[in-house]
């Protein structure tokens, strides 16, 4: 059963509700607000459906009038007619809509009841047809024909009662064989959509990808092995020769301390001298987090130039037709009109290293928000699409939660607890390096910072962190290798509480998103210590893999946690931002996928090279 | 010089003669067209100059701005609201003043969506604001306090707001509910939060987000009287139509 059908303006005023008008139980919770907040405002409006608690929601827009139509039904039921009904309601309601009017109960109740009944009847027919075809798959063609005639009979009867619907019905009947299969497809889609998104992500061609990769890897390995054998043979030979020579030169049989020194090639200042040198805390000036961006104005100008150029080239293409259209104005945007402009935009986004999947989704969402809108006079379609996309990008990149870490730190300080930040990410993205940069930035704001070396996996990780700690003159908590990182983190936090540290930065081992045991360990670490901030460190170089990394990290954190309240990724630290020129797409991909804001941007090798993301300049660069 | 004057006189004479030759209707029409365009231009410029009668309804998502908007306009909440995706924007005579005799100047009210993703929209309307109503959810205050204070801080430190001394009304909504907090409590908590924010933001320095103007007097605990613009705190309930505080505020700053 349909629980609720709601019509409201984009401004948020409810115009008509089937519950209220026709009587019915009110919805539990507020699934519609949830839909708007976590789906429509996140540029996911091109998705087919949304599920919240036990409800599934479907929606459609009338962009010209600024209306939204939402249908709510129980997730367990796969209502086939909802799309159909929404389209019909949209058509009927748009005719009687008047911006000045806010009350439609009298006019629309009857219409809706009629539409609902019709849609239900139609879906019943579809079901019957489907059952017939489904039960005997060998005789599909004949059966569909028969079903066709039945359907037409039913349709006629209804057509008589429903007057102006006969046209639509007969049209449908002619295309019923097609329609049948389509409906089946739809229902299949519904089934898959009705499951939660998490499951969907898992299914998405995952095993195939894995298999492909493994095969490839094995092949590569085989090849590599052969090469390696050859290479290693050569190497052995040369090394043998070397050792022989060495042996001959340095053959001193008795163990004297002097020779030991000769063999020790390490820097003499390393062991003890290092400390002496680095006792002085490194001062490399102000962290770039606190500096103004001077670049943005330059990029503005550049951007304008670029836009003019592209505009000129587009003008040449269809100058006359676009002029004519723009003068005529008032033409309603069809999907086919927007498509070429969107295609160009999508390509542009993809050259900026935005993951393909995300560029696609964004374009669909923009198309959904533009379709049916009236084009103002003297505007080109491409510019309309461009501004719509710009707005969408701005909306996505604007952080949803506060990214003022210092304030949160102060709040934690008042509670007498250290503020715990856990750095997670795949291998080699620069977790430890940027952890040190964050530590440096926090130190500049007179906060006491301590580090926790929970990378007990990679050799040298603890030493790396110890070096940073020594240079920054901050305490580090370490327990060596082969310890459970979750326990190490817990002890580190206890230690920090005793020492009255304000912030604890927890370094974790890098892990691939598919590595189950390591992900489980990470999930344990996070659930055990419930940090204030889980920071995902990702490189800006990453392209399509950004989607995979973040979805899997989030998913694994959710799946593998033993606690009901799961912690997901709260923020993103984007590293190696200085290496990518204008290919800033990773920022967009990551934010879109996770919904978490970019909190820091690492842009260089020194401690000061940590910045905040300039959302406006990113949007401009993306659309350049 | 004399030559030029004579030349000009000749031209004027020619023009006069030419006009006299034309049929009189055409002349009248021409004059009418000129007059109408001038009037239109004047009217447009008048409208533009009167842009500062905009009242901006701001606040977090779910605090009740849209309800307040329709209470002011129609005196009714209609059938309820959902989260806004776009701003509501209308020029109207306040519902409570519809019966009043004489000329009542309509007010331009903008209801800005409160969802954090739509925050940039606020910057577009603030330059035209004659007054800002900041709506706070008094019932669910404690859980939204941090975010509410941060949003208010952003507004109070906007250069466009402070320089023009745009008055701000903090409207504690939903006080019809039993569990709602009092306006005194909310005021105190907000001041406390703003004070904290001021410290942490000052530490971050000017590069950060939107700190255009320093808030309050440094060295003292912050309270609203330190603001350059007038900040008042009132209470009411949008759902039951108890919005007289907002109406008074509007009338005070948008002269009838």
Indicate whether A195 pLDDT > 80.
Answer: no
A213 and chain B: CB distance < 8 Å anywhere? no
Q: Quick count: other Cβ atoms within 10 Å of Cβ B26?
A: 10
CB A562 within 8 A of CB A520: no
Mean pLDDT lowest among A156-170, A254-268, A351-365, A443-457: A156-170
Q: Tell me how far apart the alpha carbons of residues A357 and B237 are, in angstroms, rounded to a whole number.
A: 46
In terms of Cβ atoms closer than 10 Å to its own Cβ (0-12, 13-18, 19+), residue B230 is middle
Same domain, B41 and B69: no
Query: Quick one: pLDDT at residue A422?
Result: 94
pLDDT at A445: 86
Closest CA to B197 of B247, B157, B238, B251: B157
pTM over 0.80: no
Interface test with A, best of B61, B74, B79, B142 (most A CBs within 10 A): B79
Residue A325's nearest CA partner among A395, A381, A394 is A381
Closest CA to A369 of A623, A84, A68: A68
More confident residue, A525 or A243: A525
Q: Which stretches of A425-460 are DSSP H helices?
A: 431-444
Q: Does A402 sit within 8 Å of B146, measured CB to CB?
A: yes
Domain boundary among B11, B29, B47: B47
The mean per-residue pLDDT over the stretch A19-39 comes to: 80
- Whether residues B62 and B88 fall in one domain: yes
Per-residue confidence (pLDDT) for residue A327, from 0 to 100: 60
Same domain, B58 and B113: yes
Residues 6+ apart with CB under 8 A from A508: A422, A423, A424, A431, A454, A455, A485, A522, A525
Query: What is residue B13's predicted lDDT score, i.e. its pLDDT?
Result: 93
CB A470 within 8 A of CB A275: yes
Give the mean pLDDT of chain B: 84
Which region holds residue B62: left if phi is over 0, alpha if psi is between -120 and 50, else beta? left
Q: How far is B70 from chain A (nearest CA, A)?
A: 9
Give chain B positions within 8 Å (CB) of A40.
85
Q: Is the pLDDT of residue A468 over 90?
A: yes
Strands A67-74 and A2-9: antiparallel
Q: For a pLDDT cut of 70, what percent of chain B falls above it?
A: 91
Q: Cα separation of A323 and A315, whole Å?
A: 9
What pLDDT digit, counting tens, does each position of B122-173 carry?
A: 888 888 888 899 999 998 888 888 889 989 988 888 888 888 888 999 999 9
DSSP state of B225: G
A391 min Cα distance to partner chain B (Å): 10
Q: What is the span of the domain harbouring residue B38?
A: 2-47
Residue A171 has pLDDT above 60, yes or no: no
Name, in order, each residue with C-beta under 8 angstroms of A311's C-beta and a sequence gap of 6 or more.
A383
The model's confidence at residue A98, banded by pLDDT at 50, 70 and 90, is confident
Mean per-residue pLDDT, A406-435: 90
Closest chain B residue by Cα to residue A12: B84
Pair B201, B235 in one domain? yes
CA distance A130 to A107: 36
CB contact (8 A) between residue B204 and residue A406: yes
- What pLDDT is attached to residue A273? 44
Both B126 and B29 in a single domain?
A: no
Residue A326: predicted pLDDT: 58
**Rounded to 5 degrees, what are φ and ψ at A10?**
-65, -20
- Domains of chain A plus CATH, in order, are 2-198 (3.30.450.60), 327-397 (no CATH), 405-623 (3.40.50.300)
Interval A523-564: pLDDT, tens: 889 988 889 999 999 999 888 888 889 998 988 888 887 777
Q: Is B85 on the interface with A (CB under 8 A)?
A: yes
Between chain A and chain B, how many beta carbons pairs sit less than 8 Å apart? 116
A549 compared with A208, residue with greater pLDDT? A549
- Do the Cβ atoms of A589 and A622 come closer than 8 Å? no
CA A474 → CA A273, A455, A499, distances in Å?
18, 18, 12
Q: B244 and B142 in one domain?
A: yes
Let me know whether B195 and B248 are in one domain. Answer: yes
Residues B94 and B38 in one domain: no
Question: Please, where are the H alpha helices in A352-430?
Answer: 356-370, 381-397, 405-415
| Average pLDDT along chain A | 75
Q: What is the CATH number of the domain that holds B69?
A: 3.40.50.300
Q: Does the pLDDT value for residue A434 go beyond 90?
A: yes
Domain match, B83 and B19 both:
no
Separation between Cα atoms, residue A566 and residue A513, nearest integer Å:
18
Question: What does the pLDDT read at residue A437?
Answer: 93
> Chain B contact for A24, CB < 8 A?
no
pLDDT at B52: 67
CA–CA separation, A19 vs A3, rounded Å? 7
pLDDT in the model for residue A411: 85
Helix (H, G, I), strand (E, B) or coil at B69: helix
Statement: residue A213 has pLDDT above 60: no
**What is the least distance, in Å, from the CA of B137 to any CA of chain A?**
17
ipTM for this model: 0.76
Report the domain count for chain B: 2
Query: What's the sign of the alpha-carbon dihedral A383, A388, A391, A394?
Result: negative
User: Any CB–CB contact under 8 A between B204 and chain A?
Assistant: yes
pLDDT band at B14 (very low <50, low <70, confident <90, very high): very high
Of A427, A536, A487, residue with least CA distance to A477: A487
What separation in angstroms does the CA of B79 have from each of A5, A18, B254? 14, 11, 29
Whether B40 and B153 map to the same domain: the answer is no
pLDDT at A561: 75
Note the pLDDT of residue B128: 84
Contact B84 A10 (CB under 8 A): yes
DSSP B52: G
How, if at all, do strands A2-9 and A14-17 pair?
antiparallel
Same domain membership, residue B42 and residue B96: no
Nearest by CB to residue A404, choosing from B85, B120, B200, is B200
- Residue A333 vs residue A497, higher pLDDT: A497
* Winning range, highest mean pLDDT, from A154-163, A279-288, A502-511, B74-83: A502-511
Residue B82 has its nearest CB partner, among A32, A293, A612, at: A32
User: Given its phi and psi angles, is residue B91 left (phi above 0), alpha (psi -120 to 50 degrees) or beta?
Assistant: beta
The long-range contacts involving B186-189, CB below 8 angstroms and separated by at least 24 positions, are B186/B136, B186/B138, B186/B141, B186/B233, B187/B224, B187/B233, B189/B141, B189/B145
- Answer for the pair A423, A506: CB distance below 8 angstroms, yes or no: yes
Tokens of A306: 């670029």
A422 within 8 A of B218, measured Cβ to Cβ: no
Residues B125 and B207 grouped into a single domain: yes
Residues 64-123 of A with CB under 8 A from B: 66, 68, 102-103
């Amino acid at each position: 059963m349909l629980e609720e059908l709601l019509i409201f303006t984009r401004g948020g005023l409810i115009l008509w509700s089937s519950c209220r008008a026709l009587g019915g139980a009110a919805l539990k919770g507020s699934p519609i607000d949830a839909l708007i907040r976590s789906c429509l405002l996140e540029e996911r409006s091109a998705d087919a459906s949304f599920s919240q608690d036990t409800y599934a929601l479907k929606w459609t827009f009338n962009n010209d009038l600024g209306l939204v139509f939402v249908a709510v039904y129980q997730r367990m039921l796969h209502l086939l007619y909802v799309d159909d009904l929404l389209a019909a309601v949209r058509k009927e309601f748009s005719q009687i809509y008047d911006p000045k009017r806010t009350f439609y109960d009298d006019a629309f109740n009857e219409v809706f009841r009629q539409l609902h009944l019709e849609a239900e009847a139609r879906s019943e027919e579809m079901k019957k047809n489907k059952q017939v075809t489904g039960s005997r798959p060998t005789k599909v063609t004949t059966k569909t024909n028969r079903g066709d005639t039945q359907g037409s009979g039913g349709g006629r009867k209804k057509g008589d009662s429903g007057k102006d619907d006969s046209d639509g019905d007969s049209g449908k009947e002619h295309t019923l064989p097609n329609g049948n299969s389509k409906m089946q497809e739809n229902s299949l889609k519904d089934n898959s959509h009705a499951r939660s998104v998490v499951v969907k992500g898992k299914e998405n061609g995952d095993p195939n990808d894995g298999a492909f990769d493994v095969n490839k890897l094995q092949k590569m390995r085989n090849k590599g092995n052969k090469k390696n054998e050859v290479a290693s043979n050569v190497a052995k030979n040369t090394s043998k020769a070397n050792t022989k020579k060495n042996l001959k030169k340095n053959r001193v049989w008795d163990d004297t301390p002097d020779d030991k020194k000769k063999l020790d090639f390490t820097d003499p200042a390393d062991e003890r001298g290092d400390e002496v040198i680095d006792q002085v805390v490194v001062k490399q000036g102000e962290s770039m987090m606190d500096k103004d961006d001077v670049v943005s104005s330059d990029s503005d100008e550049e951007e304008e130039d670029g836009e003019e150029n592209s505009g000129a080239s587009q003008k040449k293409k269809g100058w006359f037709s676009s002029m004519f259209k723009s003068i005529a104005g008032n033409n309603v945007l069809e999907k086919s009109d927007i498509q070429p402009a969107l295609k160009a935009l999508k390509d542009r986004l993809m050259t900026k290293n935005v993951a393909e999947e995300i560029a696609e989704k964004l374009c669909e969402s923009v198309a959904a928000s533009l379709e049916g809108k009236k084009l103002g006079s003297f505007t080109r379609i491409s510019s309309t699409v461009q501004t719509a996309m710009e707005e969408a990008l701005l909306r996505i990149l604007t952080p949803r939660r506060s990214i003022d870490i210092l304030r949160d730190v102060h709040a934690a300080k008042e509670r007498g607890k250290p503020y715990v930040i856990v750095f997670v990410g795949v291998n080699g993205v620069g977790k430890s390096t940027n952890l040190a940069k964050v530590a440096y930035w926090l130190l500049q704001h007179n906060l006491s910072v301590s580090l926790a070396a929970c990378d007990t996996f990679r050799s040298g990780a603890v030493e790396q962190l110890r070096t940073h700690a020594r240079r920054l003159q901050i305490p580090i908590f370490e327990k060596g290798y082969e310890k459970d990182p979750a326990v190490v983190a817990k002890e580190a936090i206890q230690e920090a509480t005793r020492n009255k540290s304000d912030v604890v930065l927890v370094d974790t081992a890098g892990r691939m998103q598919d590595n189950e045991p390591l992900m489980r360990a990470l999930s344990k670490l996070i659930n055990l210590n419930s940090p204030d901030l889980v920071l995902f460190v990702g490189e800006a170089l990453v392209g399509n893999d950004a989607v995979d990394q973040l979805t899997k990290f989030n998913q694994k954190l959710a799946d593998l946690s033993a606690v009901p309240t799961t912690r997901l990724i709260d923020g993103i630290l984007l590293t190696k931002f200085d290496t990518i020129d204008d290919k800033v797409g990773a920022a967009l991909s990551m934010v879109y996928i996770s919904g978490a804001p970019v909190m820091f941007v690492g842009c260089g090798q020194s401690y000061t090279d940590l910045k905040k993301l300039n959302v406006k300049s990113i949007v401009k660069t993306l659309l350049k | 010089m004399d030559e030029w004057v004579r030349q000009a006189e000749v031209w004027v004479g020619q023009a006069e003669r030419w006009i006299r030759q034309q049929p009189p209707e055409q002349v009248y029409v021409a004059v009418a067209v000129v007059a109408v365009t001038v009037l239109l231009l004047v009217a447009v410029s008048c409208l533009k100059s009167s842009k500062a009668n905009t009242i901006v309804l701001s606040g977090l998502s779910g605090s009740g701005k849209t309800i307040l908007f329709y209470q002011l306009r129609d005196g009714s909440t209609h059938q309820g609201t959902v989260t806004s995706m776009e701003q509501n924007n209308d020029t109207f005579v306040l519902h409570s003043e519809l019966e009043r005799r004489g000329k009542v100047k309509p007010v331009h009210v903008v209801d800005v969506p409160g969802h954090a993703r739509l925050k940039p929209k606020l910057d577009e309307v603030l330059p035209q604001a004659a007054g800002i109503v900041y709506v706070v959810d008094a019932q669910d205050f404690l859980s939204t306090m941090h975010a509410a204070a941060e949003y208010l801080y952003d507004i109070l430190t906007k250069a466009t707001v402070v320089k023009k001394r745009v008055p701000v009304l903090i409207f504690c909504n939903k006080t019809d509910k039993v569990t709602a907090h009092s306006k005194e409590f909310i005021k105190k908590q907000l001041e406390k939060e703003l004070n904290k924010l001021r410290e942490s933001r000052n530490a971050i320095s000017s590069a950060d987000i939107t700190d255009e103007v320093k808030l309050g007097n440094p060295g003292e605990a912050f309270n609203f009287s330190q603001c350059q613009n007038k900040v008042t705190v009132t209470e009411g309930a949008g759902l039951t139509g108890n919005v007289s505080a907002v109406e008074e505020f509007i009338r005070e700053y948008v002269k009838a």
